[in-house]
Amino acid sequence: MLRDPAFGDGGNHGIGTRRLSGGGAAVIGFAKWEDRPALAELWQVCFEEERRYANFFFNNAFRPENCLVYRVAGRPAAMLHLLPAKIVCGGKPVRIHYVFACATAPEHRSHGYMNALLAYAALVGSQREEQFSAILPASPGLYDYYAKSDYVTFFERDEYRLSAEQLREKAVVRGGRRAFTPATLNRMRSALLRDREGSVLWENGAFWFAVEDNRIYGGKLVCAEGPSYAVCRREQPDVCEITEFMSAPEHLPALFAALLQEMPAQDYRIRLPKGSGLFAAAGVPSLSAPEPAFCGMLRPLDGASLEQIHVGDQKPYLGLGKD
């Protein structure tokens, strides 16, 4: 059992319990399967989305043992989810979690509930022998908020804007439309990132969920030989936003051809790991400088430190649509 002086001994109620001034109890604990309707409602209210998006997550990716809930008078007031992942640290993958879908009901905000959940998430991670906790703030203003819970701005990426003409000059059609399993694509992704210190490697299930979640929101996965892939969505009628683009230089022409065929647009906004040099190595014409961006934070858990991650010229990458 985890304990904290602010909550006392949780007994059978959860990880921690405290009495509120109105006589009710506030409890932090793991979710239960039967919590799904209430948690889906919390998701819908906080993220202002249609219920089908929440239902997709809770029907396909929800795991009670990876969801922490702050309950007030027996009802979920706040939640967060811990998605298992790994990070390249000292040349090898080590276990971490990614904090996902932090949500507090409007009537319960500004009471410190999310701070308490983040503190317990760190304790849970340490008990599970995870070395780091990663998070992507939903807005720039939240970076200062999560810094108060010991998160440090860490992940970076580049964003290129290429025209259809630039893609067309390098595109080469090779065979028909290609389809690969999520496991195959995820292995290729891990192989491309395994030497990039501090980069996040996702489990096959998380890869599948990210691709399908993008599809639920109207996006598409475009694949080509290699394998290579692009996770795409239509930002504007004539702009295709690619939230993850993974390819070796020699497979870039085939992926460009697939994009032009399956996601035609005038312009393509493409996110890449910072300093990857992929487009320059492939000789993409009229290449302008990318727009750099910080896109995520990291917190060392008990016994770990950021100094263990030997970041060089290639900056840490979060990716898979999380950034």
CATH number of the domain encompassing residue 43: 3.40.630.30
| 133 plus 178 within the same structural domain | no
The SS3 of residue 154 is coil
Percentage of the chain beyond pLDDT 70 is 91
The C-alpha R_g of the chain, in whole angstroms, comes to: 21
Are both 102 and 191 inside the same structural domain?
no
92/206 same-domain check: no
Q: Is residue 275 part of a domain?
A: yes
- pLDDT for 53: 92
Residue 4 DSSP label:
B
* Residue 185 within a domain: yes
DSSP state of 175: S
Based on the fold, state whether residues 184 and 56 are members of the same structural domain. no
Cα separation, 191 vs 314, whole angstroms = 15
Contact of 105 with 38, CB cutoff 8 Å = no
User: What's the pLDDT at 286?
Assistant: 87
Average pLDDT over residues 309-322: 89
Average pLDDT, whole number, for the chain? 90
Would 287 be classed as within a structural domain? yes
Is 132 within a domain? Answer: yes
- Band (pLDDT 50/70/90 cuts) for residue 10 is very low
- pLDDT for 320: 87
The two tokens of residue 200 are: 């996040």
- For 48-106, the pLDDT digits (tens) are 988 999 999 999 999 999 999 999 999 999 999 999 999 999 999 999 999 999 999 99
pLDDT surpassing 60 at residue 27? yes
Position 323 scores a pLDDT of 58
Q: Are residues 147 and 160 in the same domain?
A: no
Residues 187 and 287 in one domain: yes
Residue 68 tokens, joined = 């922490």
Residue 15 has pLDDT above 70, yes or no: no
Q: What's the total number of domains in the chain?
A: 2
Domain that holds residue 164: 156-293
CB neighbour burial string for 35-57, b if at least 16 within 10 angstroms, e if fewer: bbebbbebbbebeeeeeebbbbb
19 to each of 16, 24, 26, how far by Cα in Å? 11, 6, 6
| Residue ending a domain, choose from 89, 120, 153 | 153
pLDDT for 90 equals 93
User: Cα–Cα distances in Å, from 118 out to 4, 133, 254?
Assistant: 13, 10, 43
